[in-house]
Amino acid sequence: MKHYIDFHEDVSFTDLDALLNTAADLKAQTKSGTLTPLLAGKSLGMIFSKSSTRTRVSFEVGMYQLGGQPIFLSSDDIQLGRGESIADTAQVLSRMLDGIMIRTFDHRDIEDLARFGTIPVINGLSDDQHPTQALADLLTIREHKGMLKGLKLAYVGDGNNVANSLLQACAKAGMHISVASPKEYTCPDFFVGQAKKDAAVTGSKVVLTESPEEAVSGADVVYTDTWTSMGQESEKAARVKLFAPYQVNAALMSQANKDAIFMHCLPAYRGYEVTADIIDSPRSVVFDEAENRLHAHKAILVHCLLNRK
């Protein structure tokens, strides 16, 4: 792949199968202690305008396990978009690095890095999308369910960057997806349209509703995320009130299939978007999901950086 920025645009149907298979193979290697230094001599610049636990650790450890060199760059370390233009930053980093992973607010910053640079750019998260999380989610579902096509994922809560990328990823994988959000916070039509375009190819269904019960009915996977993302702290009180009916609890989970699993990209806030008896139950796979960030991200790195001249 040239870049990994937008799941719909950058990941083809064959790319998705290859990424998931690579991630599974690399995970097996990690578990057996037989790591292959596929990216020896390669370097990855990691730009963080937003702080992170899982994204930083997974990419940093992933590059290390693949034999490459990760370089952490915080907003205090570089002048991206402030003293130096993104175009100049992209061209300079392209002369020194083999790839860039960026976690930031404005999605246009990621697109501009790719437009002006000459090396692969990986979207570690923007306000619009979170495609690296989506790949780890699909890997986790495949591990627990043995397949993806034909399964139903219900996302309940804020139609945020995670929900947007899940729409893209599920449609691409042939999974049915229902998103339940208040009408003020539903997923943008742009991402819904992308998902429906791929769903027409894979035969999956894309449903948006205001009813969490409708979304969760017959689901194989129930997924939620925090109600208040980074940068939205001033909205917390209003969001807690509005999203209260969208809490994933025992009553809501009872609408899903009996063997349904619970997922959350973390960090989670027990008592808000999910109750402790659900996230800490045997149905919860949130820590498998978190671990799979490492293996999914290694697959992305291999597919983007391995064959770069």
Domains of the chain, by residue range, sit at 7-130+292-305, 133-289
Q: Please, what's the largest Cα pairwise distance for the chain? A: 55
Write down the architecture of domain 133-289 according to CATH.
3-Layer(aba) Sandwich (3.40)
* CB contact set of 136 (below 8 Å; sequence gap of 6+): 289, 292, 293, 295, 296, 297
Q: Do 7-130+292-305 and 133-289 agree at the fold level?
A: yes
pLDDT for the residue numbered 287:
98
The whole-model pTM stands at 0.96
pLDDT for the residue numbered 261:
98
The residues of the chain scoring below 50 in pLDDT are none
For residues 224 and 196, what is the distance between their CA atoms, to the nearest angstrom?
21
Could you please state the CATH topology (level 3) that the domain comprising 7-130+292-305 is classified under. Answer: Rossmann fold (3.40.50)
Whether the CB-CB separation of 216 and 253 falls below 8 Å is answered with yes
Query: Closest Cα to residue 9, out of 227, 222, 164?
Result: 164
Q: Where are the beta strands (DSSP E) in the chain?
A: 43-48, 69-74, 99-103, 121-125, 152-156, 176-180, 206-209, 221-224, 261-264
Q: Helix, strand or coil for residue 80?
A: strand
Please give the positions annotated as active site: 103, 130, 133, 225, 265, 293
H or E segment to which residue 197 belongs: helix 189-202
- For the chain, the 3-state helix, strand and coil shares in percent, each to the nearest 5, are 50, 15, 35
